[in-house]
C-alpha cells in the first residue's frame, strides 16, 4: 500500500489526474474504472483540461463506470453514466465507454454482461470511499467476492444520490463492480478528501479486514495507492 498525503483538495486532484494520465500513457489500451461522487470532480476537471490542450490522449482508453443506480430510465441525467459523460466522456473521442445499465430488465444478467465486458482485466480502478466504508456500491456486509452485483442501497447512499437532483426519488438499488473484480485490478487509486472521511479512512487502513467495512479489503491489494488530503488523513498513524 502506498499512501500519499497532500495538503488540500487541489493537490489531491492534481495527484489523481497525474496518476490516471500515467496509466493512460503507459499501457496501449488501458482499461480504467471511473467513479462518480464529489471527490473526483477536480480530477475530471484537470483531465478535461489536459485532454482539450492535447496533452493527453484518451482515444485508446477503455473506460468503465464503477457503479450505477437501478432502476432509472435510460439516459436519465441522474444516472452515473450520464454524469461521467458530462464530466469526461463526451468531451472528445475516447476508445470505449461502458457502464452498468440503469434500465436493465434483469440486473443479474446485466451484472454478468458487465463482468464479461471487463474480462480483459482492470488496469486501474479509481474509487472513492463512502462514510460507511463502501467502495462503489459495495455496501457493508454485501458479498465481498462478487465480480459485479446488485445491492440494496443504504439510506445514506440514497441521500447522496439526491445531491445534484433534489427532486429525484432515489432508486432502492445500486449495481456495482464488485470487490471481486476490484481486488483483481492491476492497481487501485483510492481518493479521500475532507475531515468527514478521516475516521473511515483510518479504520479502512489500520483496522481489521472485514465485510463490515468493504474498503478494509483493499489492505490486501498489492497495487493500492491512496491519495488523501490532510483533513482526510488526520487520523492515520503517519499523519
Residues that bind ligand PGA (CB under 6 A): 37-39, 128-130, 134
Q: Write down the catalytic residue from 67, 68, 110, 123.
A: 67
Least distance (Å) between residue 151 CB and ligand PGA: 13
Element (H, E) at 62: strand 62-65
- 30 CB neighbour count, 10 Å cutoff: 20
Residue where the block lists cell 488526520: 234
As a whole number of Å, the end-to-end CA separation of the chain is 15
Least distance (Å) between residue 208 CB and ligand PGA: 21
Q: Is 67 assigned a catalytic role?
A: yes
Q: Is 132 assigned a catalytic role?
A: yes
Least distance (Å) between residue 65 CB and ligand PGA: 13
Distance CA 229, CA 150 (A): 31
CA angle (182 as vertex; 89, 194 as ends), nearest 5: 70
Q: Write down the catalytic residue from 134, 138, 221, 229.
A: 134
**CB-closest chain residue to ligand PGA:** 37
Q: Write down the catalytic residue from 50, 68, 110, 139.
A: 139
Least distance (Å) between residue 129 CB and ligand PGA: 6
CA proximity to 61, closest of 18, 35, 93, 15:
93
Nearer to ligand PGA, 130 or 147 (CB): 130
Q: Which residues are catalytic?
A: 67, 132, 134, 139
Amino acid at each position: 500500500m502506498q499512501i500519499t498525503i497532500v495538503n488540500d483538495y487541489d493537490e489531491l486532484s492534481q495527484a489523481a489526474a497525474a496518476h490516471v494520465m500515467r496509466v493512460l500513457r503507459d499501457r496501449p489500451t488501458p482499461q480504467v474504472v471511473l467513479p462518480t461522487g464529489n471527490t473526483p470532480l477536480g480530477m475530471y476537471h484537470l483531465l478535461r483540461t489536459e485532454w482539450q490542450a492535447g496533452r493527453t490522449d484518451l482515444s485508446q482508453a477503455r473506460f468503465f463506470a464503477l457503479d450505477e443506480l437501478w432502476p432509472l430510465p435510460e439516459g436519465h441525467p441522474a444516472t452515473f453514466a450520464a454524469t461521467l459523460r458530462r464530466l469526461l466522456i463526451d468531451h472528445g473521442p475516447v476508445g470505449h465507454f461502458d457502464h452498468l445499465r440503469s434500465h436493465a430488465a434483469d440486473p443479474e444478467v446485466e451484472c454478468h454482461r458487465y463482468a464479461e465486458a471487463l474480462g480483459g482485466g482492470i488496469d486501474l480502478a479509481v474509487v472513492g470511499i463512502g462514510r460507511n466504508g463502501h467502495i462503489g456500491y459495495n455496501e457493508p456486509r454485501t458479498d465481498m467476492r462478487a465480480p459485479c452485483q446488485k445491492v440494496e442501497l443504504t439510506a445514506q447512499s440514497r441521500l447522496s444520490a439526491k445531491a445534484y437532483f433534489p427532486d429525484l426519488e432515489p432508486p432502492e438499488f445500486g449495481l456495482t463492480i464488485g470487490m471481486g473484480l476490484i481486488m483483481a485490478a492491476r492497481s487501485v487509486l483510492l481518493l479521500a478528501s475532507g475531515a468527514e472521511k478521516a475516521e473511515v479512512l483510518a479504520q479502512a487502513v489500520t483496522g481489521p479486514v472485514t465485510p463490515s467495512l468493504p474498503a478494509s479489503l483493499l489492505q490486501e491489494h498489492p497495487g493500492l495507492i491512496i491519495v488523501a488530503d490532510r483533513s482526510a488523513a488526520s487520523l492515520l498513524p503517519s499523519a
